[in-house]
Amino acid sequence: PAPFLSVRDLHVRFATEDGTVKAVDGLSFGLERGRTLGIVGESGSGKSVANLAVLGLHNPRNTTISGEIILDGQELTRASERTLQKLRGRKMAMIFQDSLAALSPYYTVGRQIAEPYIKHLGASRKAARERAVEMLDKVGIPRARTRVDDYPHQFSGGMRQRAMIAMALVCDPALVIADEPTTALDVTVQAQILDLLKDLQRETGTAIIIITHDLGVVANITDDVMVMYAGRCIERGTVGEVLKTPGHPYTWGLLGSIPRLTAPVDVPLSPIPGAPPSLISPPPGCPFHPRCGLTGQVGGARCSTERPDIPEGARHSSACHLTPDQKRTIFTEQIQPR
Ligand code: SF4
Ligand code: MG
């Protein structure tokens, strides 16, 4: 049976003055209810763009989408804006990085949380207000009933982030996509917000996608991890597999940015030198080859001529020409010295 969310061979392209940007270039993944998928990569890796496409929030005027996005049996790439609007908020919801941009300064927090409940579920104003209080309480706003009529500027940054989560979850969506949900917050609040998402998932069986550049976030909260580079998935597996026995040289580089205290692995690497490739004219072969120090291990010009792919249907796998043996040996002996 198809998973709850199934993305197959997704391509997202933007027309720009300089040419066509291949922001997402053949991405496939699935997600079940009650599971959390972490999508990790630098900015420009396509992780946000792919998820905006899932929600139908891309700009249709300059964006072309091909491939398949199926949510609970319903195909979304060809769905009308009306259908998508109905699904957003009720069945799928997005939590953004910037709560100030997501909340309007002109309406009370309670009213903004109540709004989707009225719109999607046809609740009365009174019932929706009660629901807003309940949601504020659920996301850990103290004395929720006395704060429900506050405006966003009367809340602290952490409280606004919680209010935004309350707004996203008010209709019990089956899929929640959180894009860098904690980046703007201090470490303690970050941990509280992630715990909160996990609690809500345990209660309602929500499927969660967390988009982040921080493998530390992934270590703490996700079940599965997908690492993206240049619009493609270059490694995927369970969180244990990807963090403990990563197979792709790019993932080895990313692991260097894990905060030590939260990470189950200890990899003394500096951030990856070089810049992400152009998505208008991506390098031939492996998109990572201009930054990779291991092309010599593969031999010949293979890295710069032949694009490695993730084998169809494989569990833990990485798109790199190194053999499984080489990946294991190089990682354990050179990247992660004991
Ligand atoms: Fe590096 Fe080659 Fe593997 Fe790409 S395929 S990550 S260039 S070793
Ligand atoms: Mg982004």
Dihedral pair phi/psi, residue 256, rounded to 5°? -60, -20
- Predicted confidence band of residue 260 (pLDDT cuts 50, 70, 90): very low
- Predicted confidence band of residue 183 (pLDDT cuts 50, 70, 90): low
Q: Which two tokens stand for residue 226?
A: 């997908």
Q: What is the CATH number of the domain that holds 271?
A: 3.40.50.300
Asked if residue 99 belongs to a domain, the reply is: no
Cβ–ligand 1 distance for 289 under 6 Å, the answer yes
- Predicted confidence band of residue 185 (pLDDT cuts 50, 70, 90): low
* Mean pLDDT, residues 227-248: 94
Range of the domain at 177: 5-91+173-335
Residue labelled with tokens 């629901």: 131
CA distances in angstroms from 144 to 135, 204, 235, 244, listed in the order given: 9, 21, 42, 41
pLDDT, position 118: 96
Number of domains in the chain: 1
Residue 157: pLDDT above 70?
A: yes
Give bridge partners of residue 5 from the DSSP assignment.
Answer: 31, 71
Cβ–ligand 1 distance for 227 under 6 Å, the answer no
Give the pairing of strands 175-179 and 92-95. parallel
Residue 221: pLDDT above 50?
A: yes
Asked if residue 321 belongs to a domain, the reply is: yes
Asked if residue 250 belongs to a domain, the reply is: yes
Cβ–ligand 1 distance for 234 under 6 Å, the answer no
Q: Counting ligands in written order, which one lies closest to the CA of residue 98?
A: 2
Q: Cα(49) to centroid of ligand 1, in Å?
A: 24
Asked if residue 295 belongs to a domain, the reply is: yes
Asked if residue 102 belongs to a domain, the reply is: no
pLDDT in tens, 38-65: 999 888 899 999 999 999 988 888 999 9
Q: What dihedral do alpha carbons 330, 331, 337, 338 form, nearest 10°?
A: -120
Asked if residue 151 belongs to a domain, the reply is: no
Give bridge partners of residue 70 from the DSSP assignment.
Answer: 6, 75
pLDDT in tens, 95-132: 887 777 789 999 999 999 999 999 999 999 999 999 99
Closest Cα to atom 6 of ligand 1: 320
pLDDT in tens, 278-331: 999 999 999 999 999 899 999 889 999 999 999 877 789 999 999 999 999 988
Query: Which residues are placed with Cβ below 5 angstroms of ligand 2, an ion?
Result: 48
Cβ–ligand 1 distance for 71 under 6 Å, the answer no
The CA-to-CA distance between both ends of the chain, in Å, stands at 43
- CA–CA separation, 32 and 36 (whole Å): 8
Asked if residue 127 belongs to a domain, the reply is: no
pLDDT, position 59: 83
